[in-house]
A = this chain, B = another copy of it.
């Protein structure tokens, strides 16, 4: 038993961080601990200030990330009952793009008294949405200048991404921009704090910072955005990227003090929560699409070749697994549509019935909806309550339900909403397949499929693909621990680690041919409406939004 070695994966979420101790020999998860960020999501005012932040802002305090290390790692190790001396590496994953400006030594500007009162000196969280004007400029300029990388991102750079956020700092707080020696992902910053070495991981650089074909956007383009931005890459960004699973450095004495681990153990290159989950679900080859299913879906698939797939979120060389192209697509509303429905459109009788049955309302509605055959409710929905990411890349689209009658009941609509998100996934699957990226199987992680067997079956029936789920409730942390094992040399590569440490349930939802036949018909109707409302034939959704905004005085 003394030969057993362990790694630690730390998963940085939106509101808390979680550490998990994983056995290198088989991926067993032995102990975990969670630490909620004391400053959580900063969207009203800076800590210690009463000055309100503008709408759409979302910041974080980088010291909360250090707090995660100090609090969760020792506790997870203790809970697991292992000897900390047997821990051979640590890896992390993060939300993205979550970025911050720092000094040359890595000190966050917001930690310095002279910058602490300036909101632009803090961490901009992934869901900071105040950089839309900058994103618009980035897209319009790229289109005008014919930048080749634009199509690698479905034709649109998000306001959430790195250059949008950086340009917002430059536009609104040039003094902060000037004072920053480095702008980087919080993920890379935490690794820097752990091992004292600045790295920049291929995943966030590729998906969020427009790193394509060995380079960031060129000077000419950057100058067109803002004269000062022309030299941002050489001035403030690292250009040598570090591969996923690589060793960023050894744990520093200081970080060893925070964590109770041994100085010098391997610190893995940072990764992103969704992407690190792919090998955790044993997916290290083309064809199997991993879906991180929660409020939204992040779809990831590997490919040997580079293809441009319309409406995807990004394709990055080595963005998921070194040596392969990592494709990413997304559905912007899934679990949050179901939550909206359950919170806002289910009458008291179902709440009471769920209570009587000892079920939460989701489970009760699922059990009722599961009694139906495909098509029996007569409904069809467009799953655009939160806009559409892939493949239309249009936040101004909205939800639609058709087929309602006086006999329509809550479980009917609940089932129609689940189906609509499955149709949305099928649109993505077909977009990949039609552009040279085959999808043979679906593998899910995240909270949603675990709780909802009906959803698994519907996705299998609608897409005609077998649907499996990861066998871990802590997929990202498991993936991070796996990358730490690779960085520590326990496995030659992530493929080898995935085979042993990754976990997939035996359970599989297989497409049922008679259901598929009905869903093929319904999917054809979905596509008809999808294209009619989503591709410009009838822009009523946009006009309704414009009328709404005008009525609300937002115009």
Give the B-binding residues of A (Cβ under 8 A): 333, 336-337, 340, 343-348, 351, 372-380, 385-386, 398-406, 408-410, 413, 518, 521-522, 525, 528-529, 532-533, 538, 540-541, 543-545, 547-548, 550-552
Please name all residues of chain B whose beta carbon is closer than 8 Å to the beta carbon of A521 when the two chains form the complex. 543, 547
- Asked if A343 and B347 make an inter-chain contact with CB atoms under 8 angstroms apart, the answer reads yes
Enumerate 15 A-B pairs (CB-CB under 8 Å) in ascending A order: A333-B406, A375-B544, A375-B550, A376-B548, A378-B545, A380-B544, A385-B408, A398-B403, A401-B401, A401-B404, A402-B533, A402-B544, A521-B543, A525-B543, A532-B532
- Asked if A406 and B378 make an inter-chain contact with CB atoms under 8 angstroms apart, the answer reads no
Given contacts A348-B348, A550-B375, A551-B373, contact A399 B410 (CB under 8 A): no
In angstroms, Cα B378 to Cα A541, docked, is 8
Closest residue on chain B to residue A529 by CB atoms: B540
Please name all residues of chain B whose beta carbon is closer than 8 Å to the beta carbon of A405 when the two chains form the complex. 385-386, 398-399
In angstroms, Cα B532 to Cα A402, docked, is 13
Please name all residues of chain B whose beta carbon is closer than 8 Å to the beta carbon of A399 when the two chains form the complex. 402-405, 408
Please name all residues of chain B whose beta carbon is closer than 8 Å to the beta carbon of A374 when the two chains form the complex. 551
In angstroms, Cα B346 to Cα A374, docked, is 25
Which of A403, A409, A529 is packed against the most chain B CB atoms within 10 Å?
Answer: A403
Please name all residues of chain B whose beta carbon is closer than 8 Å to the beta carbon of A398 when the two chains form the complex. 378, 402-405
Please name all residues of chain B whose beta carbon is closer than 8 Å to the beta carbon of A401 when the two chains form the complex. 400-401, 404
In angstroms, Cα B540 to Cα A529, docked, is 9
Q: Which of B337, B403, B540, B552 contacts A528 (CB 8 A)?
A: B540
Closest residue on chain B to residue A404 by CB atoms: B399
Please name all residues of chain B whose beta carbon is closer than 8 Å to the beta carbon of A351 when the two chains form the complex. 347-348
Given contacts A344-B408, A402-B400, contact A547 B528 (CB under 8 A): no
Closest residue on chain B to residue A387 by CB atoms: B405
Please name all residues of chain B whose beta carbon is closer than 8 Å to the beta carbon of A380 when the two chains form the complex. 540, 544
Please name all residues of chain B whose beta carbon is closer than 8 Å to the beta carbon of A333 when the two chains form the complex. 406
Could you tell me the distance in whole angstroms from the C-beta of A424 to the nearest C-beta in chain B?
Answer: 15
Could you tell me the distance in whole angstroms from the C-beta of A524 to the nearest C-beta in chain B?
Answer: 9
- Asked if B336 and A406 make an inter-chain contact with CB atoms under 8 angstroms apart, the answer reads yes
Given contacts A347-B347, A373-B551, A551-B373, contact A544 B404 (CB under 8 A): no
Please name all residues of chain B whose beta carbon is closer than 8 Å to the beta carbon of A344 when the two chains form the complex. 347, 408-410
Please name all residues of chain B whose beta carbon is closer than 8 Å to the beta carbon of A548 when the two chains form the complex. 375-378, 403
Please name all residues of chain B whose beta carbon is closer than 8 Å to the beta carbon of A525 when the two chains form the complex. 540, 543-544
Which of A373, A374, A406 is packed against the most chain B CB atoms within 10 Å?
Answer: A406
In angstroms, Cα B408 to Cα A333, docked, is 14
In angstroms, Cα B549 to Cα A377, docked, is 9
Q: Which are the 5 A-B pairs with shortest beta-carbon distances?
A: A399-B404, A378-B548, A376-B551, A375-B547, A375-B551
- Asked if B552 and A376 make an inter-chain contact with CB atoms under 8 angstroms apart, the answer reads yes
Please name all residues of chain B whose beta carbon is closer than 8 Å to the beta carbon of A403 when the two chains form the complex. 398-400, 540-541, 544-545, 548
Closest residue on chain B to residue A380 by CB atoms: B544
Please name all residues of chain B whose beta carbon is closer than 8 Å to the beta carbon of A347 when the two chains form the complex. 343-348, 351
Closest residue on chain B to residue A540 by CB atoms: B525
Could you tell me the distance in whole angstroms from the C-beta of A118 to the nearest C-beta in chain B?
Answer: 31
Closest residue on chain B to residue A295 by CB atoms: B406
Could you tell me the distance in whole angstroms from the C-beta of A546 to the nearest C-beta in chain B?
Answer: 9
Please name all residues of chain B whose beta carbon is closer than 8 Å to the beta carbon of A532 when the two chains form the complex. 532, 538
Closest residue on chain B to residue A409 by CB atoms: B344
Closest residue on chain B to residue A382 by CB atoms: B402
Please name all residues of chain B whose beta carbon is closer than 8 Å to the beta carbon of A409 when the two chains form the complex. 344
